[in-house]
Structure 1
Amino acid sequence: MLTKLLRDYLKPYWGLIAMVMVLQLVQVAASLYLPSLNAAIIDTGIAKGDNDYILRTGALMLAITLAQVFGQIGAAYFGSRTAMSMGRDLRSSIFHRVLGFSSREVNKFGAPSLITRNTNDVQQVQQMVYMTLLLIVSTPIMMIGGIIMALREDVGLSWLIAVAVAVLALVIGTIIIQTMPLFKRMQTLTDQLNRVLREQISGLRVIRAFVREPHEAQRFASANHDLTDTATRVGRRMMTLFPTVMLVMNLGSVGVMWFGGLRVDAGEMQIGQLTAFLQYLMQILMAVMMSTMMLMIAPRASVCAGRIREVLDTESSVRPPEHPMVALFATGEVRFDHVSFSYPGAEHPVLKDISFTVRAGETTAIIGSTGAGKSTLISLIPRLFDPSQGVVEVDGADVAKIDPDLLWSKIGLVPQKPYLFTGTVASNLRYGKPDATDAELWHALEVAQARDFVEKMTGGLNAPIAQGGTNVSGGQRQRLSIARALVKRPDIYVFDDSFSALDVTTDARLRAALAPETADAAVLIVAQRVSTIRNADQIIVLDDGEIVGRGTHAELLVNCPTYAEIVDSQFKAEEVAA
């Protein structure tokens, strides 16, 4: 998964990667050459008292050191630029893929997991890329080159290198194998912690209302403890790497000095050669240690790459048409033709053989008990889901064959749970029509019965709105959502129980003001209150996913027992009939 992900997303940056590799070659070449020059100064310049040779060689060493420094700085700059750019592209791909998901895919992954995958998971892969770019050339060349250069200085001490590298490889391999499953568990636990925290923040009022703070604190503590415990176990294992590397390096240094001293004493090697061999050993072991750092990141990055790939490889169940229709007759008509719908894994369909038409200039209302399938039904119009059977048509065309942008431009949806975005009143109202004038915004607010409270807000149209609209009441959120749809001026209005948070008086005023604004459009209203829909041109009564009644308010009172029961539960029959 990790290799495929890197291959796909590093392809545009081969030029930068090549630059990093060239700069690393400069850096490594300088590092490998410096110990030989140092040995030459000791064995030739100092031994013979040749000051000119010492100065010339020292100046060359200084120039090589500067080249090494610039190579290291340049490699770090271009490496970080490549990694950050790849991370940006990866986050953008995940974001656009999720935007194309239907509600089915979003529910499958869950919002907390999708957020984690687009932040923490991408960050882990990004860090892995950065470390790899800095080490992919320098580490193997440093290791191989250091071995070759060390053997040039003295072959008799080469067994020390073999022992040191073998011990490190054994320790590192064992630790990596042990930590791989723990890294996978860490990402799952991070999702779980985010989910718990998101639920608690969103449901803070409910938690306080039911005095469940101790229970929720325990839930968070449990999720937090699980993540902390797993991270601690990983940390304990990974932290044994560096002491092990340092122990091997120090023991290797002692071994070189001990056995090298014996060889110098025997006249089999010079002091400069011993010094150079010791430096090469340090470079080899340092290369192994740097590889260890990369291997620490690799298992977690591999797990994260698999989670990212899972999102990117998931196709939306609502697929755009291959040859979309880009123009429609502006009739503003919605037609359901024998539509049925089932959620994945459900034993029974939510909707069964639904057929009716919503015409322009008319208001069609849908009413029914909780769980009757009302919200699911209207979700089929903007293709939040696709029907299991049957066809949903807009302006005479199957919605599955219409260009998605064209389809959505014709629909003004006011959802059951109104959602406002961080910004201002104006930025939220212009969501469907960015070029709307202030006059259009005030007019929409007036129709939605929201002008009074917006005028009282500090800044008016420029008054700040918090994420989700949490700084305004539920009724105010609903009215602002209705105003947002009115600003768009669509051909089709869909109100999904959008008047439930309004008092009866405000509801009546809003519907009276709304009628002339939507006179030429098709209007579909889902409601729980009979008073909201009693004047609709057509009322559809749903019960257990089936249409059990169709007609006007007066007709349904006589012909539909289910509707009459709903009316009875809300009013006295005499008051409603009056």
Structure 2
Amino acid sequence: MTSSTWDGEPASAAADANSPAWAVRAAAGRRLAVAAETPEAADVLHRLLLDERDTGVVQATAEALLARRDVAGLRVVLKALSRAEEFEVADQLAAEVHCDPRRLSGEPGAEEFVQQLRALATDTDEGVREEARRLLPRLPTTVKEIRLDNVSYTYPGKESPALDQVSMTLRAGQTVAFVGVNGSGKSTASRVLAGLYDVSDGAIRWDGVDVTAMNSESLQSRVAMALQDPVHFPFSALANITVSRGTLTEADPHRALAAVRASGAETVIAALRDRWSAVLSKRFKDGEELSEGQWAKVAVARGLYKDALVLLLDQPTASMDPRAEHAVYQAVLRGNRCGDQITVLISHRLASVVECDTIHVFERGRIIESGSHQDLMELGGEYAEMFTLQATGYASATAPGTGPA
């Protein structure tokens, strides 16, 4: 906790300690926090934490709420923190929660505090959920297995689920492909895996631990994504790569070079006037703009540079020609990937994913087939039909004498 001048009164408010009004407000906040047991009282406390202009009173009330050591008291503080707009008040609330000694390993009540946070991580209030998950323990630095157990997800405002009872197991070192027609659920599955969406039903577990019981920011930091519509950062070419690790000014030269070579972005950067230091935006003097296909290669390099536990490539190469996409995916599949990395490839061009360890075929939010390329071809189902159709199309397009007269 922050230092105090007397019996829990914050040092930051020492100058106001002689003010009768301050003392009355602080004492009232403490008494209400200790005694409150009804939803109405919780609402009063919530408004007090948001509306009180004196951070000393806010701290005294928050301290008393946390001292209750129950879910209800913690929920009021987290709800206020998620809605606090005044910088000093938000800072004070955050400091009280982060400085709570129960968060320290080995302290009495630490496990109880974590259990309270886990209960609030599934709260009906979105702000409470987010604040609780930011405080939960971080994910481990390695993972052997990620399991999706009967996972469903429905987009807000929609009646039909985008994912419907999906189950699968992803293991360290594997390459996995999600395939299917547009709207089949494969991209939604990738976003659920990345922690961007909270599942409507079912569970996602990393080595047996439900992700809703783990720190949300650490989950996202352990997943690298390259999407079909990548972000065009108005940074230098190098910073557009290194931003995936949260930095614009520091770079690992060897890792950066390996990433751009694997993605095909090396030739893109080599063609820029200022190479790595070229600013990729016409909004700046001497800035340069890339084509969509070039941005796709930069986005893939960005994901590779992060070197995360899970790499998700969700059709980032859709704007490339088939040969360029095939080269990128081959580099990912055969390159010097981290040995325990889980790689998920999503593509409509099935020739790009034939070497994956496992291919999951999605249809209407469900997985209808799973197996290796050979397994699925022998099955003679949806995948075999799609692959044969594409292969026949390519063969017809390249056969001698089939061009225009």
TM-score normalised to the size of structure 1? 0.44
Structure 1 position 87, deviation (Å): 9.0
Which of residues 510, 531, 549 in structure 1 aligns to 2:369? Answer: 549
Provide the alpha-carbon RMSD of the alignment: 3.4
Which of residues 325, 333, 349 in structure 1 aligns to 2:145? Answer: 333
Matched, 1:461 2:271: no
Secondary structure of 2:136's aligned partner = coil
Secondary structure of 1:380's aligned partner = helix
Deviations 1:494-541 (A, max 9, x none): 111122122222223222322223251110111111011111110000
Distance 2:273 2:128 in 1: 42
Partner letter of residue 347 of structure 1? E
Is the CA contact (8 Å cut-off) linking 1:379 and 1:385 kept in structure 2? yes
Question: Which has a greater percent of strand?
Answer: 2
Distance 1:387 1:441 in 2: 34
Distance 2:343 2:300 in 1: 13
Distance 1:575 1:398 in 2: 47
Which of residues 514, 518, 541 in structure 1 aligns to 2:337? Answer: 518
Where do 1:277-356 residues align within 5 Å? 315=127, 320-321=132-133, 324-328=136-140, 330-356=142-168
Match of 1:445 in 2: 260
Matched, 1:381 2:209: no
Distance 1:363 1:88 in 2: 47
Partner letter of residue 365 of structure 1? A
Which of residues 241, 248, 263 in structure 2 aligns to 1:429? Answer: 241
Is the CA contact (8 Å cut-off) linking 1:328 and 1:395 kept in structure 2? no
Q: How many residues align?
A: 283
Distance 1:450 1:416 in 2: 16
Secondary structure of 2:243's aligned partner = coil
Matched, 1:508 2:346: no
Is the CA contact (8 Å cut-off) linking 1:441 and 1:487 kept in structure 2? yes
Distance 2:336 2:48 in 1: 51
Change (3 A) 1:470 1:358: farther
Structure 1 position 6, deviation (Å): 12
Match of 2:36 in 1: none
Is the CA contact (8 Å cut-off) linking 1:318 and 1:384 kept in structure 2? no
Is the CA contact (8 Å cut-off) linking 2:179 and 2:346 kept in structure 1? yes
Secondary structure of 2:138's aligned partner = coil
Change (3 A) 1:426 1:436: same
Partner letter of residue 522 of structure 1? I
Secondary structure of 2:127's aligned partner = coil
Change (3 A) 1:571 1:542: same
Partner letter of residue 337 of structure 2? T
Q: Which stretch shows the higher mean deviation, 352-361 or 553-562?
A: 553-562
Distance 1:8 1:527 in 2: 51
Q: Which stretch shows the higher mean deviation, 469-478 or 317-326?
A: 317-326
Is the CA contact (8 Å cut-off) linking 1:329 and 1:395 kept in structure 2? no
Distance 2:266 2:320 in 1: 15
Partner letter of residue 568 of structure 1? T
Which of residues 183, 186, 193 in structure 2 aligns to 1:371? Answer: 183
Change (3 A) 1:430 1:573: closer
Matched, 1:473 2:291: yes
Is the CA contact (8 Å cut-off) linking 1:332 and 1:492 kept in structure 2? no
Partner letter of residue 517 of structure 1? N
Deviations 1:432-458 (A, max 9, x none): 233322333222111111111201102
Structure 1 position 5, deviation (Å): 11
Unpaired segments of 5 or more residues in structure 2? 1-46, 58-83, 95-124, 397-405
Distance 1:7 1:353 in 2: 41
Match of 1:539 in 2: 359
Match of 2:310 in 1: 492
Deviations 1:415-437 (A, max 9, x none): 22111212111112111233322
Match of 2:102 in 1: none
Distance 2:282 2:208 in 1: 38
Change (3 A) 1:314 1:11: farther
Partner letter of residue 381 of structure 1? L
Where do 1:51-450 residues align within 5 Å? 89=87, 315=127, 320-321=132-133, 324-328=136-140, 330-433=142-245, 434=247, 435-450=250-265
Partner letter of residue 442 of structure 1? L
Distance 2:391 2:308 in 1: 34
- After superposing on structure 2, the runs of 4+ consecutive aligned residues of structure 1 that deviate more than 3 Å are 4-14, 86-90, 316-323, 467-470, 573-576
Partner letter of residue 312 of structure 2? V
